[in-house]
């Protein structure tokens, strides 16, 4: 497996050394190509020593011109990864400029390209950068979205280079992907909630439910396999989150609410498979409630309805809810679809065998806002996840199927 690692001039350039090392752990041979400004942040010698390969830093590097170097490297590679990718290199890629070693490699490469942007939050949000990113996505370039946090410039927001493990996991997923696989969610950012939420009674006791997270994690895997960026917000489960997803672990409904609201603007599709606690103790004492022979009365108050708030803020986003029902599933599902302003609801009759909580299979009914009803017979949760995304693509995302067609 031959990978070109492109490094550009940004403070996150030092993380490229760790990316290189982790790629080697996966069995890759890595050759590094640096832009002139990358050399201001990290020395080529670091990459030469780690990779055991010459580093391309100059279009006309003495000793490397016996063959046309950028063409030779581009043909050699199974994948081109650029990490970190600055706003400048993204703009150059988008517009086909070719005036340094990395842009000439990009424009002559026929292998898949993955880029991991890193920059100041306003540079990332700028319309020019977002248009350039959209151009690259439309061309099939995989974008590993930057993470939110404190940036080197002192500001807070999205812009930080994704963690090396996430970058490497995504690269491996691209390399493993069969060419026949559906890539119909490229360019979409899917926010998924999974698992239960827990509401503390006191420091040692809590109320929760039987959700295992299996449905939500299956949705995350399906969305990733179809090319989406995925943010997975999960209550406590025993499952391992997919490495390519941005993963946020939460405990209570309040924490899930805050995490969803922090990330909702980035999302184009929101799928709420979590089994969110509807009530929580009104009082949460800071010390353990003592055992007593008397009955204990705990007053419960409603939790915030995360999905209803997402429905209020949805704009053009697609919002999918789940409903766990024990009676009149279709009727209750329709009511929730309308009340929470959803595009689709998947109703599970959790009394049916093989459906709902803590099993590997599920069955249910998908209802969409146009009134279409799709029966989902007993199948694995992963298959059901794909059936749900198939419906979203067919009904709402295919360019030939627009809102005006529906009227």
Count of other CB atoms within 10 angstroms of residue 155 = 11
Distance of alpha carbon 247 from its chain centroid, rounded? Answer: 8
Min dist. Cβ of residue 3 to ligand PMT (A): 36
Q: Would you say 51 or 211 has its CB closer to ligand PMT? A: 211
Min dist. Cβ of residue 261 to ligand PMT (A): 11
Pairing of strands 269-272, 189-194: parallel
Per CB under 6 A, 336 contacts ligand PMT: yes
Q: Would you say 14 or 279 has its CB closer to ligand PMT? A: 279
With helix as H, strand as E and coil as C, how does the chain read?
CEEEEEECCCHHHHHHHHHHHHHHHCCCEEEEEECHHHHHCCCHHHHHHHHCCCCECCCCCCCCCCCCHHHHHHHHCCEEEEEEECHHHHHHHHHCCCCCHHHHHHHHCCCCEEEEECCCHHHHHCHHHHHHHHHHHHCCCEECCCEEEECCCCCEEEEECCCHHHHHHHHHHHHHCCCCCCCCCCCCEEEEEECECCEECCCCCEECCCCCCHHHHHHHHHHHHCCCEEEEEECCCCCCCCCCCEEEECCCHHHHHHHHHHHHHHCCEEEECCECCCEEECCCCCCCCCCCCCCCCCCEEECCCHHHHHHHHCCCCEEEEEEEECCCHHHHHHHHHHHCCCCEEEEEECCCCCCCCCCCEEEEEEEECCCCEEEEEEEEHHHHHHHHHHHHHHHHHCCCCCHHHHC
Q: How many residues lie near ligand PMT (CB under 6 A)?
A: 27
Min dist. Cβ of residue 288 to ligand PMT (A): 27
Min dist. Cβ of residue 359 to ligand PMT (A): 7
Q: Show contacts with ligand PMT in window 205-264 (CB under 6 A).
A: 211-215, 253
Q: Which of 122, 131, 155, 278 binds ligand PMT (CB under 6 A)?
A: 278
> Are 230 and 162 contacting, i.e. CB atoms less than 8 angstroms apart?
no
Q: Show contacts with ligand PMT in window 310-329 (CB under 6 A).
A: 321-324
Q: Which of 118, 276, 388, 395 binds ligand PMT (CB under 6 A)?
A: 276
Is 111 catalytic? The answer is no
Q: Which of 305, 314, 374, 378 binds ligand PMT (CB under 6 A)?
A: 305
Q: Would you say 160 or 382 has its CB closer to ligand PMT? A: 382
Q: Would you say 57 or 253 has its CB closer to ligand PMT? A: 253
Q: How far is CA 238 from CA 147, 209, 249, in A?
A: 25, 14, 12
Q: Would you say 11 or 378 has its CB closer to ligand PMT? A: 378
Q: Would you say 155 or 358 has its CB closer to ligand PMT? A: 358
Per CB under 6 A, 356 contacts ligand PMT: yes
Stretch that binds ligand PMT, among 114-122, 225-233, 283-291, 304-312 (CB under 6 A): 304-312
Q: Would you say 166 or 336 has its CB closer to ligand PMT? A: 336
Q: Which of 155, 353, 358, 372 binds ligand PMT (CB under 6 A)?
A: 358
Q: Which of 32, 94, 273, 388 binds ligand PMT (CB under 6 A)?
A: 273
Q: Show contacts with ligand PMT in window 131-190 (CB under 6 A).
A: none
Q: Would you say 187 or 364 has its CB closer to ligand PMT? A: 364
Q: Which of 129, 188, 252, 348 binds ligand PMT (CB under 6 A)?
A: 348
Among 10, 111, 153, 198, which one carries the catalytic annotation? 153
Cα separation, 136 vs 114, in Å, equals: 10
Instruction: Pick the closest to residue 3 from 248, 240, 192, 175 (CA basis).
Output: 175
Min dist. Cβ of residue 324 to ligand PMT (A): 4
Min dist. Cβ of residue 63 to ligand PMT (A): 58
Residue whose token pair is 């599920």: 362
Min dist. Cβ of residue 54 to ligand PMT (A): 50
Min dist. Cβ of residue 332 to ligand PMT (A): 8
Task: Name the site residues for ligand PMT (rule: CB under 6 A).
Answer: 195, 211-215, 253, 272-276, 278, 303, 305-307, 321-324, 336, 348, 350, 356-358
Active-site residue list: 153
């Amino acid at each position: 497996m031959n990978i070109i690692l492109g490094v550009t001039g940004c403070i996150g350039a030092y993380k490229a050394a760790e990316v290189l090392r982790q790629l080697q752990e996966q069995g890759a041979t890595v050759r590094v190509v640096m832009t002139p400004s990358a050399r201001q942040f990290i020395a080529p010698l670091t990459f030469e020593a780690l990779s055991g390969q010459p580093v391309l830093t100059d279009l006309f590097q003495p000793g490397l011109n016996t063959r046309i170097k950028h063409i030779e490297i581009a043909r050699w590679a199974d994948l081109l990864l650029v990490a970190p990718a600055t706003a400048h290199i993204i703009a150059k890629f988008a517009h086909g400029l070719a005036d340094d070693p990395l842009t000439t490699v990009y424009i002559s490469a026929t292998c898949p390209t993955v880029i991991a942007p890193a920059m100041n939050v306003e540079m990332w949000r700028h319309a020019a950068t977002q248009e350039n990113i959209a151009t690259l996505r439309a061309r099939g370039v995989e974008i590993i979205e930057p993470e939110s946090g404190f940036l080197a410039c002192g500001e807070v927001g999205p812009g930080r280079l994704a963690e090396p493990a996430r970058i490497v996991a995504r690269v491996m997923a691209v390399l493993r992907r069969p060419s026949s696989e559906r890539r119909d969610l490229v360019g979409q950012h899917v926010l998924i909630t999974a698992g239960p939420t827990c509401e503390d009674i006191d420091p040692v006791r809590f109320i929760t439910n039987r959700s295992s997270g299996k449905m939500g994690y299956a949705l995350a895997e399906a969305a990733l396999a179809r090319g989406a960026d995925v943010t997975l917000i999960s209550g406590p489960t025993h499952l391992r989150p997919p490495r390519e997803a941005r993963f946020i672990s939460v405990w209570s409904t309040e924490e899930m609410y805050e995490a969803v609201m922090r990330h909702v603007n980035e999302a184009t599709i929101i799928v709420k498979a979590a089994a969110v606690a509807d009530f929580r103790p009104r009082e949460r004492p800071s010390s353990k409630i003592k055992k007593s022979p008397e009955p204990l009365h705990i007053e419960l108050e409603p939790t915030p309805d995360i999905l209803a708030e997402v429905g209020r803020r949805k704009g053009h986003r697609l919002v999918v809810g789940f409903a766990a029902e024990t009676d009149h599933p279709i009727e209750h599902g329709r009511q929730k679809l309308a009340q929470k302003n959803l595009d689709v609801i998947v109703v599970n009759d959790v009394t049916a065998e093989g459906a709902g909580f803590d099993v590997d299979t599920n069955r249910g009914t998908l209802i969409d806002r146009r009134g279409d009803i799709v029966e989902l017979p007993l199948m694995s949760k992963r298959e059901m996840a794909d059936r749900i995304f198939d419906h979203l693509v067919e009904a709402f995302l295919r360019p030939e199927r627009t809102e005006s067609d529906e009227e």
